[in-house]
Structure 1
Amino acid sequence: MFQLQPTCEYPYECEAWIRIFQRFDVNHDGYIPTHELKRFVRDSAKSLGLQSTEAKELLDNVDVNRDHLVDFAEFCLLMSKAKRMRLRRVMFRAAQMVVPKGIRTKPFSYLQQYNCFPPPLFMLFISIIEVAFYIYYVLEMEVGLDLSKPSTTGVTLMKSPLIFNPEKLEEVWRFLTYMLVHVDFFHLAFNVLTQLILGIALELVHKLWRVSAVYIAGVLAGSLLVSVVDPSAYLAGASGGVYALLAAHISELLVNWSEMEFAAIRALILIILIGSDLGVSIYQRYFEVEATTISYTAHIGGFLAGVLMGIIVLRNFRKKPWEKVLWWISTTAVIFLTATLIVLNIGPRVL
């Protein structure tokens, strides 16, 4: 006889599903008549938070062995499918942050098939590394995690092999690795929270490689620009990458203003976030009693990179004739600006 094994992932999950199963198993024989279970799901779809199409999808092939009875293993398959539907609903909510109403059919159709393998791990992975390095450098100073002293890591960071050091430009990895270290807790918290909230939503819609390309481009653009226009400045933090993500979202928001939900509120929140972070960076750079030598110029470089790379690599779900021209302009601009910044970096040392 064809048998299935229960598919619950955790013991507590199995216990909860057993209790629900027993509630339907009125004869206590280990089976629920298929027609009774289907009738309950259909009648209770609205109260369960399911649309009629979701209820139908949930009930498809519920009776795997076609004996008109649902045993506990088959019931577990039903519950596992319901879990995936809840996950999908969360992904749809996240996608609504970055996709205009008028063009949601195609990306939402993509998400309908999305099973979270691979999951949107890039932003989570980068954020964990950044937090780990911050903790390491705070402990390196032997002061503990004292958040009331936001600049305790500053002196140690200047000696870090990861920070962008204007006196060690030959160590080319620093043009990228500076994103992993942060000067203070505010700096870290703003970057990590922003890239998690916005970056994961973008990853769900646009896939990992596209979002990581925008993020890394912002980091590199920040360090290349700083080394040219603020050549005495050190550079730390992921602000270049974060501002690239913000720029990609802002450009989408402006182009699709009438179709974006709560566009004005989103714009206001983004302006407040960017204004507060940039304001703190400028103040620390020029007006503090002990002014930091950490540059804010990376924010500008990252923002420009985000606009251009967003046009080039992010998924375009509603193509217009003029957008192909814009794609070529953006691609040409990225190549030209990157080459110019590299030449301006290398030129003085060669000559």
Structure 2
Amino acid sequence: MSRQSRNSRYEPINWHEIFQKIDSDGDGYILRSELKQYLLRTPVSEVPLSDDMVDSMLYHVDYDNDGFINLQEFYGLVNVPVDSKTRSIVQRTLVATAFSLAPRSQVSHGDRHYIAEYSCCPPPLLIPLLCTAQVGVFIYYAMTMGDVGPYSPVPWSSPLIYDPKRRLEMWRFISYMFLHAGYVHLLSNVVVALFVGIPLEMVHKWWRLLILYIAGVLAGSLAASLLDPKSYLVGASGGCYALIAAHLANIIINWAEMPFNWVRLVVLITLMATDIGVFAYMTLTNTASRVSYVAHLAGFVAGLLVGMVTLRNLREHKWEVVLKWVGLVIFLALITAAIIIHVFFPDLIGLYPPMPERRLSESLIKAPEPTVSV
């Protein structure tokens, strides 16, 4: 018995199964242009479907006009409002196409456009919630300390600040991201997070962004503590730079699917080159600064390495699989090495002895100037 005879008019056709066979990567969508080619090159009748007829039918059933046919639209194609003879040809062509295709693979459509992946369902909530929390914490300390300015207040005694004398309170390596030294510092981080983070969250979803953000914050505090062990640390710039670097990782793993890829790449390289240039100038000229460029750089590196692993890859190549695992190993090795140094070899970098007990007076805590990761 031939394959087509299995689906004669006397047997019910499982159109969901047919859709799944044509949907080669199993993502729930069939590229409209691809389906058109299937219908045109699969003859099942003496009267083949014409190019204009197929275009008209697919346009009619692609309700949202996004260039893809989902299952609901596929059912519309099966029952497209044309004469019964043409409809029968369409149905038999779809069945023949399904059984002529290779088994389903894990390779995504090569011409899937990155912008088609943007989604507001569920809406992006993580980045707005993080920014709201940071603004709320700033308002709280501004009200309790009674000092609001471009570079104040700095809540020295806060349980959230990274205090080099209290590094055994491990949450401080992350919780410092909720504090900011003045509204200029707060505004810059919030604007960057919203501008960069929301588009990423709409494509890659909140949990991937959370991993990236925390990785950048943790890498920033560990690196700043290693290279500037006497300084306090506030600000979410490590997380913000991780989001910026995630865009670079996103471009690398989705290069062919992303519009304006060269423009995005040039903008990111320019941004980082500017920051690195300022850092080099400040270092060579011994200019005093409260900005922790080390935290910026560490957050960026963390975002790049972790981003290649956590972000969605619309079309995965073998070299990308190797690259992401190499990146993950490098990131874990760096973080592990930094933790080992902090725990077992603090004298190597001149860290304060850990003092978790609360016995320092407010005046002593206020003595040093903090490093602010703007």
On whether the aligned pair clears a TM of 0.5, the verdict is yes
Q: Secondary structure at the match of 2:124?
A: coil
1:242 corresponds to which residue? 240
Equivalents in 2 of 1:199, 1:250: separation in Å?
Answer: 13
Kindly state the Cα deviation for residue 253 of structure 1 after the two structures are TM-superposed: 3.2
Q: Report the CA distance shift for 1:227/1:139 in structure 2 as closer, same or farther (over 3 A).
A: same
Which of 319, 344, 349 aligns to 1:347? It is 344
1:161 corresponds to which residue? 159
Per the normalisation by structure 1, the TM-score is 0.61
Q: Report the CA distance shift for 1:337/1:208 in structure 2 as closer, same or farther (over 3 A).
A: same
Equivalents in 1 of 2:261, 2:244: separation in Å?
Answer: 14
Any idea what the Cα deviations from partners look like across 1:76-117, whole Å, max 9, x if unmatched? xxxxxxxxxxxxxxxxxxxxxxxxx97544873x65xx5623
1:317 corresponds to which residue? 314
* Contact kept in structure 1, 2:160 and 2:178, CA below 8 Å: yes
Q: Report the CA distance shift for 1:253/1:186 in structure 2 as closer, same or farther (over 3 A).
A: farther
Q: Secondary structure at the match of 1:167?
A: helix
2:17 corresponds to which residue? none
Kindly state the Cα deviation for residue 252 of structure 1 after the two structures are TM-superposed: 3.1
- Structure scoring higher RCO (CA < 8 A, sep ≥ 6) equals 2
Equivalents in 1 of 2:287, 2:306: separation in Å?
Answer: 33
Kindly state the Cα deviation for residue 140 of structure 1 after the two structures are TM-superposed: 2.8
Q: Secondary structure at the match of 1:312?
A: helix
Q: Report the CA distance shift for 1:122/1:158 in structure 2 as closer, same or farther (over 3 A).
A: same
Structure 1: gaps of 5 or more residues: 1-49, 61-100
What is the aligned-residue RMSD (CA, Å)? Answer: 3.5
- Is the radius of gyration larger for structure 1 or structure 2? 2
Per the normalisation by structure 2, the TM-score is 0.57
Q: Report the CA distance shift for 1:268/1:335 in structure 2 as closer, same or farther (over 3 A).
A: closer
Which amino acid in 2 is paired with 1:215? Y
Kindly state the Cα deviation for residue 257 of structure 1 after the two structures are TM-superposed: 6.1
Which amino acid in 2 is paired with 1:157? P
Any idea what the Cα deviations from partners look like across 1:52-89, whole Å, max 9, x if unmatched? 844689xx9xxxxxxxxxxxxxxxxxxxxxxxxxxxxx
2:146 corresponds to which residue? 142
2:21 corresponds to which residue? none
* Contact kept in structure 2, 1:151 and 1:183, CA below 8 Å: yes
Q: Secondary structure at the match of 1:319?
A: coil
- Aligned-residue sequence identity (percent) comes to 40
Q: Give the paired residue count.
A: 248
Kindly state the Cα deviation for residue 296 of structure 1 after the two structures are TM-superposed: 2.9
2:136 corresponds to which residue? 132
Residues 1:338 and 2:335 aligned together: yes
Which has the larger share of helix? Answer: 1
1:152 corresponds to which residue? 152
Structure 2: gaps of 5 or more residues: 1-58, 73-108, 349-374
Q: Secondary structure at the match of 1:157?
A: coil
Which runs of structure 2 are paired with 1:289-328 in the superposition (5 Å)? 292=290, 295-328=292-325
1:123 corresponds to which residue? 127
Equivalents in 1 of 2:187, 2:293: separation in Å?
Answer: 16
Kindly state the Cα deviation for residue 143 of structure 1 after the two structures are TM-superposed: 3.5
